[in-house]
Structure 1
Amino acid sequence: MSDFVKKVYRLHNGVFHSDLGVMTNLWIVKMGPGTENSAVKIGDWIGVKWMSSICDACEPCHTGMDGNCLNGKISGYYTPGTFQQYVIGPANYVTPIPDVINSAAAAPLLYAGVTAYAALRKSNAVAGDFVVILGAGGGLGHLAVQYSERGIGHRVIGIDHSSKKELILNSGAERFISVDATESLSEAVKALTDGLGAHAVIVCIAHQGAYDKALDLLRFGGRVVCVGIPEGDMRPIASATAASITIKELQVVGCTVGTRKEAVEAIGFAARGIMKTHLRIEKLEKLTVVFNEMNTGTLKGRVVIDLSD
């Protein structure tokens, strides 16, 4: 065991569209050598993020972009612990979980929650700005709605299938647009934004069609934040033409996952009761069923896997 690791017991594990359930709420049961002066101790509640460890030595780490660490280890790929009760994590990179957040609710926040919050920060939108969230009824999207509307003060327009309208509005969206009952999303968005379009669009859904429409929903100087990654052959964004980007001075940025600082901030919103995860809890044997729901797009909110005995 290295100088920076400890053993933690896992109660609940979130399930995510990447087929990774690596964000979790755990408590520490053993500290490794060299962690005597660590900020965390045995018995503390902590979370292990999608990026489970970083080197703290490369340029991304030194410039506040530790989520892009050149030597980082991704939970479930390079480190064991996904969907099991015990996992080893670095004492300097786990995220403290306040006692007011229960285990199941915390599990999705350290991937979906942090990513949603980081994407909103990258949007450059400020309080009062119009923000469109594509895929607003999904596990990541409904958290983005809450962080955006309730946490930051954006005016959120949630876009998704009509079956997810109630979840989206209950999450705090000011307006809802149904993709299956709207002929022109761009005209619908303009009608709700003084005829100009949104200041920012967050693409939470892993669907090429959503990206192809994203830039058409922006006003001048707007920004699209890419989060969901479509499967299959990679294709360019249809609406990202040189003319539209240049004339309207648009921007397109990506967001893989949040940083150490953003994880603490994202958890803080939940601790203050500003937002909560819409979730259901399943046992590990139901994991295949959950993945099938993801593949068919019928899953609402998040599913958390109960790993307790």
Structure 2
Amino acid sequence: MTSLPQNGHNHNGTIPSHHKAIVYDNPGHISTAITTIDTPKPGVGEILVQLTHSGVCSSDHGIMTNSFGFPPTAEGQVGGHEGVGRIVAFGPAGAEDVKSLKEGDRVGIKWVAGICGTCLPCLSGRDALCQSVKISGFYTPGTFQQYVLAPASYVTPIPDEVPSELAAPLLCGGVTVYAALKKSGAQPGDFVVIPGAGGGLGHLAVQIAGRGMGFRVIGIDSGPKEAFVKSLGAEVFFDINKYNTNEDWTKLAVDVKAATRPRGTGAAAVIVCAGSNAAYAQALQFLGFGGTLVCVGIPEGKGVPVGGAFPGALIAQELRIIGSAVGNRKEAIEVLEMAARGVVKTHVTLEPMSKLTEVFEKMERMELQGRVVIDLARE
């Protein structure tokens, strides 16, 4: 069994009584601290996972800073919801109740840590909207720690072909954009616009849309990310920094539509990965007849309606605006299978636990490209 330095497994494979975790020590602000906490024991239906990696998502930032309008985050909350590691223990009933899992298996823990499985959203395959949902890293211990409990029925198996640090961001970012693309109604060969194309969500959306689903991708982001976004498969790129005023936004819409084929018909879908009210206000103008705006990125702060969503305009072009929460268990497996086949590859920067506050500061300044993953074996 893999050993972790500093409070990880010792050489005879026993589970330590304590382990390292990163907590939000001053909720409402960007601030994290490494601490030592008790290692829990799994109960009935639970497993204990020794985590090695955890992705860092903008949703973690929103929870830490109390920016989403959720109930305030508790001080000392262990954040994180993109964890990968190996099963080291089962609850009292043992592994015989979970025939598909065994000790040593590599599994992932997602934004949704657990569901009831019986409410209407659960029965509809909309796990994230479960009426009794447990969110990893928000009033449920998250994955910024070396050991974590998880429901055996809800973890995601990680294919052997996908390294843990590349698998971690797919458990939220990857499955979220994949679910959104599926809901968009776009067909192979259609144009899909992705604002925020070079970010943590966007860079996965570009690959899944183009290489995985056969869409033609138009990326929008800041100019320095152009080469990166095009390397992921985007046919066309627009530098958002060149369109700063309302008049510029109108020109951006004209330019985006001109890039579609037949010329000027507009996109079949816009997947807004940027958590920006401005991105939403621009998005409807990119759509062609019958197009769909899919809301994915959540702007922080006070809620603002989608700009330009006039009933007359929606009716005249039969446009749709839909929301898409993180995907379900089946979609998580499908995304990881795409990664196993080389269709999508997460572009990650690995950082030790002590760098998490700095990562969040860079995230707030929109300086990150791709995804950051915390190496939980390194303080």
TM-score, L = length of structure 1: 0.98
Would the aligned equivalents of 1:25 and 1:103 in 2 still touch at CA under 8 Å? yes
Equivalent residue for 1:48? Answer: 109
**Counterpart for residue 59 of structure 2:** 18
**For residues 10-58 of structure 1, what are the alpha-carbon distances to aligned partners after superposition, in whole Å with 9 as ceiling and x for unaligned?**
0011001112531111100001133413111100010001001011111
**What do residues 82-128 of structure 1 show as CA deviations (whole Å, max 9, x unaligned)?**
31000011111100001111111111110001101111011111111
Aligned equivalent of 1:76, options 110, 124, 137:
137
CA distance in 1, matches of 2:142, 2:356: 16
TM-superposed deviation, 1:286: 0.7
Q: For residue 126 of structure 1, what is the aligned residue in structure 2?
A: 187
* Matched residue SS, 2:338: helix
> C-alpha distance in 2, partners of 1:132/1:3?
46
Partner of 2:256: 189
Helix, strand or coil: the match of 2:58? Answer: coil
Kindly provide the amino acid, as one letter, of the partner of residue 48 in structure 1. Answer: I
Q: What amino acid sits opposite 1:51 in the alignment?
A: V
The 5 A counterparts of 1:229-240 are 229-240=298-309
8 A Cα contact 2:47 2:89, kept in partner: yes
Q: What is residue 165 of structure 1 aligned with on the other side?
A: 226
The answer to whether 1:106 aligns with 2:147 is no
CA displacement at 1:249 relative to structure 2: 0.5
CA contact (8 A) 2:206 2:219 kept: yes
CA-based RMSD of the aligned residues comes to: 1.1
Q: Which residue in the other structure is 2:29 paired with? A: none
Distance in 2, matches of 1:226 and 1:96, equals 28
Is the 2:51–2:143 contact (alpha carbons within 8 Å) kept by the matching residues of 1? no
* Partner residue of 2:294 out of 205, 219, 225: 225
Structure 1, unaligned stretches of length 5 or more?
Answer: none
SS of alignment partner, residue 36 of structure 1: helix
Alpha-carbon distance in structure 1 between the residues aligned to 2:125 and 2:164:
28
The answer on whether the counterparts of 1:206 and 1:231 sit within 8 Å (CA) in structure 2 is yes
Alignment partner of 2:96 out of 33, 36, 52: 36
Summarize the alignment of residues 3-14 of structure 1 with structure 2, pairs less than 5 Å apart: 3-14=44-55
Q: For residue 258 of structure 2, what is the amino acid of its counterpart?
A: A
Q: How does 1:290-301 map to 2 (within 5 A)?
A: 290-301=359-370
Farther off after superposition, 69-78 or 45-54? 69-78
Q: Note if 1:153 corresponds to 2:206.
A: no
What is the percent sequence identity of the aligned residues? 52
User: For residues 112 and 255 of structure 2, what CA distance do their matches in structure 1 show?
Assistant: 38
Counterpart in the other structure of 2:74 = none
Structure 2 stretches lacking a partner, 5+ long: 1-41, 61-78
Query: Take 2:218 and 2:176, find their aligned partners in 1: how far apart are those partners?
Result: 19
Q: How far off is 1:3 after superposition?
A: 2.3
Q: Are the equivalent residues in 1 in contact too, given 2:109–2:171 (CA < 8 A)?
A: yes
Contact persistence 1:211–1:237 (CA under 8 A): yes
* 2:358 paired residue number: 289
Matched residue type, 1:189: V
Q: Are the equivalent residues in 2 in contact too, given 1:81–1:88 (CA < 8 A)?
A: no
Q: For residues 122-174 of structure 1, what are the alpha-carbon distances to aligned partners after superposition, in whole Å with 9 as ceiling and x for unaligned?
A: 11111111000010010100000000000000000001110110111111111
Q: Which of 314, 328, 346 does residue 259 from structure 1 map onto?
A: 328
| 2:277 matched residue in structure 1 | 208
Q: Deviations over 1:62-85 (max 9, x none)?
A: 122122111110001132133100
Which amino acid in the other structure matches residue 133 of structure 2?
A: G
Deviation at 1:196, TM superposition (A): 1.2
Alpha carbons 2:189, 2:215 under 8 Å: kept: yes
Report the alpha carbon displacement of residue 231 of structure 1 after superposing the two structures with TM.
Answer: 1.2
Secondary structure of 2:356's aligned partner:
helix
- Larger of the two Rg values belongs to structure: 2
Note the C-alpha offset of 1:2. 3.3
Question: Structure 2 counterpart of 1:104, which letter?
Answer: E
CA offset at residue 190 of structure 1? 1.0
CA contact (8 A) 1:117 1:258 kept: yes
CA contact (8 A) 2:173 2:204 kept: yes
Q: Which runs of 4+ in 1 moved over 2 A?
A: none
Q: Could you report, residue by residue, the CA deviation over 1:270-304 in whole angstroms, capped at 9, with x for unpaired residues?
A: 01111101110000111111101110111111000
Mean CA deviation greater in 180-189 or 107-116: 180-189
Question: Which moved further from structure 2: 33-42 or 3-12?
Answer: 33-42
* Partners of 2:210 and 2:233 within 8 A in 1: yes
